[in-house]
Structure 1
């Protein structure tokens, strides 16, 4: 049985090794996307002792600097971070970073361009579009089989593993050292990678998501839509005074949180505000909806509501995202995700060398 499992492990490893290396290595780097973006997009600003700019100020800046863009959302963060503005244009979208005190445009980034976006697409679809995305899903599924089979092979056929199976002997010969790097580091990394890969499978296969929806009762739930009621036959969409008032109110009420406001684009659309605590994760985000014509808070059974009212499936979905990137455990978790993915990227290389060394040892037949 062990020989059969080892054969499966080898075949899968040789078949997806290169693609798994790309997925794991790009994933390891993408773990630090928030920090990369913060530096690359010049998001740090000096703190000033004055109020943040209004939605009207943002619109004025965009009208001058990027008039062709369609302003969608604005994310107000702490006193030393630029305001992040989401802008749509045909075929792509941009993030504009504005000084929160002066409204000056600091950086404008086409989110379909740049090395950070290249890294994201490399991880998600090998730069091959929808076909590549599907390929990543199957590579991920096969990688899970490869990891589990590797753990089975790692466990000794007789008895319990000895201490030598947990510690790398750095003074060993190159062949033995490579074997240990594959065998021992692979053992440690597998416990991290199983979670990272398992959450990737959740995203990759609709069958998994739909099954969880059915089991959690999500499919039986009905949600209401927050609606703004026009007060005239010719309503003015997204009244700036109300938008300005709401963002000021929420940012004052939640000084230690980030606040995102969405700009309505339809006459019956509500103003959507999200209150985000950066240290508590996705499942702690509170969503609020206001009538765009009078600013009143709307109540109802909304899918995006208070964190405490999130459905079981929504909580699972949020947890999946945080487990995948390791952020569920804060910075230590992200470091573990980074190291696990980095070691994972090395396994196809060390495994291939192990295979070559074994082939060289085999006697040639006359």
Structure 2
């Protein structure tokens, strides 16, 4: 076997092994692209009339949340711009519970409840991340499938590469005529289309693997020259929590944040999970993306800032390698370029989903030809066997002659 024949065999085997998973991941990725825009069509509950009065403090929200879902862990509270509701987010792993309640920021009235584990987009995300399998199994299947897809992109480029420069034009454009058969068109869609989207598919695959495997993310970060921790960690406070005043320290934090970040889109305040844990705040500086958010940590008692040793800190203070890694999710979903980026991500995901389909059709046609060739061999054996057994029979002589002259079977 030549080098390209070996690569073609590897490409075919890996494609058959991972095709279904890649198709599902790509299609669900396309459906996920416009999640925020679709959900925004029915989010009237997020808006309220602005009043000239104080909003609910984090402590008040925590007390109201405890009344609505007793015994459930309140992950954090999102304070949006004036005129928008407060979102209290519940999350716990065992038993799994992930919901949000939206409250009127002035009265505490319940405006809406959202279960993040149900609904169309929850179903789409489960398919994208787990193929609708049990989480631990699905994560591994998807991770392996994307690793295989990465290898297939490389092998596909090798197969696409023409032997001579003269053949380059044919590999770069669709030279179809009215007489061009569908098998040729399907091959060109797989080969030429795959070439044009391979760079984007590579970006999707690498960014997806960085979210699937910690070792892959750490490796990419090291290649970029990063030196910090890439795992998100909440640092501890220097001292245990102690409050001697009437106002909880966490309630004094919100006015400070508004003063320090007047242009921020929202603040997500996370409640400390232990007496020695710090208060963690995520400041969203730009609506629709996460990469440029500021991650702040404060002592529970004094509200003194606590420095993080990870890439999750103030965005402007990060190195280039830190910023690139922080952009990973927004690159993966196309949000890094706003609505045009999401449109591009949607179209590219559709094209990526077409590759396993066109690839399988190529394999299917090839299998049919081989099966037909096998039938020829079968008839040749029968013809020769009949002739050897009964050479005097005219019908057997005629049968063999017709086969050898390719008038019947070729």
Alignment CA distance shift 1:297-1:158 (3 Å) = same
| 2:235 is the counterpart of 1:225 | yes
Alignment CA distance shift 1:182-1:265 (3 Å) = same
| 2:82 is the counterpart of 1:76 | no
Question: What is the distance in 2 between the residues matched to 1:319 and 1:310?
Answer: 12
| 2:253 is the counterpart of 1:246 | yes
Q: Does the CA contact (< 8 Å) of 1:154 and 1:187 recur in 2?
A: yes
Q: Does the CA contact (< 8 Å) of 1:78 and 1:256 recur in 2?
A: no
| 2:162 is the counterpart of 1:156 | yes
Offset at 1:139?
Answer: 0.5
Q: Which residue of 2 aligns with 1:256?
A: 263
Question: What is the distance in 2 between the residues matched to 1:219 and 1:252?
Answer: 30
Question: Does the residue aligned with 1:351 lie in a helix, a strand or coil?
Answer: helix
Note the aligned Cα RMSD (angstroms).
3.4
Alignment TM-score, normalising by the size of structure 2 = 0.75
Q: Which residue of 2 aligns with 1:181?
A: 189
Q: Which residue of 2 aligns with 1:15?
A: 17
Q: Which residue of 1 aligns with 2:382?
A: none
Task: Give the number of aligned pairs.
Answer: 361
For structure 2, which runs of at least 5 residues remain unmatched after alignment?
Answer: 378-410
Q: Which residue of 1 aligns with 2:99?
A: 94
Higher mean C-alpha deviation, range 200-209 or range 344-353: 200-209
Per-residue CA deviations over 1:107-151 (Å, capped at 9, x if unaligned) read: 323333333222212111222221221111110011111122222
Question: What is the distance in 1 between the residues matched to 2:78 and 2:175?
Answer: 47
Alignment CA distance shift 1:239-1:206 (3 Å) = farther
Which structure is higher in RCO with an 8 Å CA cutoff and minimum separation 6?
A: 1
Q: Which residue of 1 aligns with 2:136?
A: 130
Per-residue CA deviations over 1:83-112 (Å, capped at 9, x if unaligned) read: 322113551232222334543323323333
Instruction: Tell which structure's C-alpha radius of gyration is larger.
Output: 2
Alignment CA distance shift 1:336-1:33 (3 Å) = same
Q: Which residue of 2 aligns with 1:141?
A: 147
Question: Does the residue aligned with 2:76 lie in a helix, a strand or coil?
Answer: strand
Q: Does the CA contact (< 8 Å) of 2:291 and 2:330 recur in 1?
A: no
Q: Does the CA contact (< 8 Å) of 1:288 and 1:297 recur in 2?
A: no
Alignment CA distance shift 1:248-1:43 (3 Å) = farther
For structure 1, which runs of at least 5 residues remain unmatched after alignment?
Answer: none
Alignment TM-score, normalising by the size of structure 1 = 0.83
Question: Does the residue aligned with 1:284 lie in a helix, a strand or coil?
Answer: coil
Of the three residues 299, 302, 308, the one matched with 2:316 is: 308
Question: Does the residue aligned with 1:134 lie in a helix, a strand or coil?
Answer: helix
Offset at 1:59?
Answer: 3.2
Q: In the TM superposition, what are the counterparts of 1:1-366 in structure 2 within 5 Å?
A: 1-39=3-41, 44-46=46-48, 48=50, 50=52, 52-79=55-82, 81-88=84-91, 90-91=94-95, 92-128=97-133, 129-159=135-165, 161-162=168-169, 165-167=172-174, 169=176, 173-212=181-220, 216-218=226-228, 225-227=235-237, 229-230=239-240, 241-257=248-264, 258-278=266-286, 281-294=289-302, 296-300=303-307, 302-303=309-310, 304-310=312-318, 314-361=322-369, 363-364=372-373, 365-366=376-377
